[in-house]
Amino acid sequence: MSSPQISSQLSSPSSSAYCRYVGTKKLVKRKEFEEYISQSLII
């Protein structure tokens, strides 16, 4: 995935399971994000 695709995934409402905001920084729970990507994308 490219950087813009990841950014759009993080800004979606469904990202609450793997994305946390601390001030203006986005923190991503890597394990949960990888599980989400593996379930939602078919290569």
Whether the predicted pLDDT of 6 surpasses 80:
no
Task: Identify the H or E element spanning 3.
Answer: helix 3-11
Rounded to the nearest 5 degrees, what angle is found at the Cα of 14, between the Cα atoms of 7 and 26? Answer: 40
pLDDT-based confidence at 35, cuts 50/70/90? Answer: confident
- How many of the other CB atoms lie within 10 Å of CB of 9? 19
Total-model pTM:
0.59
3-state secondary structure of 28: strand
Whether the predicted pLDDT of 31 surpasses 80:
yes
The per-type count for the chain, helices as H runs and strands as E runs, is 2, 2
Please give the average per-residue pLDDT across 15-42, as a whole number. 82
Whether the predicted pLDDT of 22 surpasses 80:
yes
Local structure of residue 27 (DSSP, 8 states) = E
